[in-house]
């Protein structure tokens, strides 16, 4: 049996005015991993309301264990109001004081210890309240798993102190370009332009930051321009992706799609070149449907069938299965 993955954080409902869909970066990641057949423990908290029922429906649809799913009576399930721009960009209005801000530490620890994950994933939004932040700290203190941090900064909800602590706790960190620029401002001597992510100044500052926080790897996603991977042992790899989806709908959850295949590749022993190419292709394809995860779960099998047919030496690219 493959190693399991534990994911800590918010499961919420994205409200697009005309449509409500389950979301939250950690929950998007967990669902993708489950779609690819990995055992996943999602540690989160919901309320006894309509939005909570929608979250539970997604647990069932993806056949995910609910061992880490907590319920808080009188606590509203997380909600985010999403505005999608004409160019596919999105603006989030995140509602405060939600159920995922009150994750119980003892119950979370029991679920994660039972799962014995090989990778433990966390972000920063669910740390905005002291209760869930303490629950996360308790898990990090007890786990021997590789710690994957998707920084996922949300203005007004996370301060620098939480980011600093999260970076200290992580082994692998994933950021987008905007988040990398913010980290440069906080923790580096200079703020190099990221237009050319492969220039020496970007590499130098990234490696200084990796050294200061004892990171084993840093992953930077660049949208349609692909992704960059830096490791503590000196690796510097870039994959420039496949561009946008041919039928672009929105980019909500594209980073979560990337993360899922990046972690899948790590667990299944793919080369980093192949992992980046596949993660970029899957993320690009995710922009071709509304919301963060597909309605047709058979797409996960089609992706894995495509990857299984690839020559051993060739890295995956292309737009992927329909």
Q: How confident is the model at residue 34 (pLDDT cuts 50, 70, 90)?
A: very high
104-130 pLDDT, tens digit per residue, is 999 999 999 999 999 999 999 999 999
| Rounded mean pLDDT, 16-33 | 92
205-216 pLDDT, tens digit per residue, is 999 999 999 999
Q: How confident is the model at residue 253 (pLDDT cuts 50, 70, 90)?
A: confident
Pick left, alpha or beta for residue 194 (phi over 0 → left; psi -120 to 50 → alpha; otherwise beta): alpha
Q: Among positive and negative, which fits the CA dihedral 133, 139, 140, 146?
A: negative
Q: Which residues are within 8 A (CB) of 75 and not within 5 positions of it... i.e. 6 or more apart?
A: 45, 47, 98, 99, 102
67-105 pLDDT, tens digit per residue, is 999 999 999 999 998 787 776 666 779 999 999 999 999
DSSP 225: G
Listed residue (254, 200, 261) closest to 224, CA to CA: 254
150-161 pLDDT, tens digit per residue, is 999 988 898 999
Q: Residue 31 and residue 40: Cα distance in Å, rounded?
A: 8
The full set of domain ranges for the chain reads 5-307
| Rounded mean pLDDT, 259-280 | 97
* pTM, rounded to two decimals: 0.93
Q: How confident is the model at residue 314 (pLDDT cuts 50, 70, 90)?
A: very low
CATH code of 5-307, in short, is 3.40.1190.20
């Amino acid at each position: 049996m493959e190693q399991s993955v534990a994911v800590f954080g918010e499961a919420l409902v994205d409200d697009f005015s005309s449509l409500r869909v389950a979301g939250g970066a950690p929950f998007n990641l967990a669902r993708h991993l489950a779609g690819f057949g990995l055992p996943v423990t999602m540690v989160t908290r919901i309320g006894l309301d309509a939005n909570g029922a929608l979250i539970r429906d997604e647990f069932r649809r993806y056949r995910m264990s609910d061992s880490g799913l907590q319920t808080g009576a009188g606590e509203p399930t997380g909600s985010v109001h999403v505005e999608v721009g004409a160019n596919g960009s999105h603006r989030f209005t995140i509602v405060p004081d939600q159920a995922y801000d009150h994750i119980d530490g003892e119950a979370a620890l029991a679920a994660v210890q039972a799962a014995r994950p090989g990778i433990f994933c966390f972000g920063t939004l669910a740390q905005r309240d002291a209760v869930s932040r303490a629950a996360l700290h308790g898990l990090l203190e007890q786990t021997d798993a590789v710690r994957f941090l998707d920084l996922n900064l949300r203005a007004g909800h996370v301060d620098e102190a939480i980011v600093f602590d999260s970076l200290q706790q992580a082994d692998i960190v994933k950021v987008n370009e905007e988040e990398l620029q913010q980290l440069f401002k906080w923790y580096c001597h200079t703020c190099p332009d990221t237009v050319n992510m492969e220039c020496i100044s970007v590499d130098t500052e990234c490696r200084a930051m990796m050294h200061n926080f004892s990171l084993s790897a840093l992953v930077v996603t660049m949208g349609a321009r692909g992704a960059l991977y830096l490791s503590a042992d000196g690796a510097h790899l870039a994959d420039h992706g496949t561009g946008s989806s041919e039928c672009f709908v929105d980019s909500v959850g594209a980073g979560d799609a990337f993360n899922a295949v990046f972690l899948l590749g790590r667990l299944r022993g793919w080369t980093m070149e192949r992992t980046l190419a596949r993660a970029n292709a899957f993320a690009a394809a995710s922009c071709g449907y509304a919301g963060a995860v597909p309605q047709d779960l058979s797409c996960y099998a089609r992706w894995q069938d495509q990857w299984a047919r690839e020559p051993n030496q060739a890295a995956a690219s292309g737009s992927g299965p329909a």
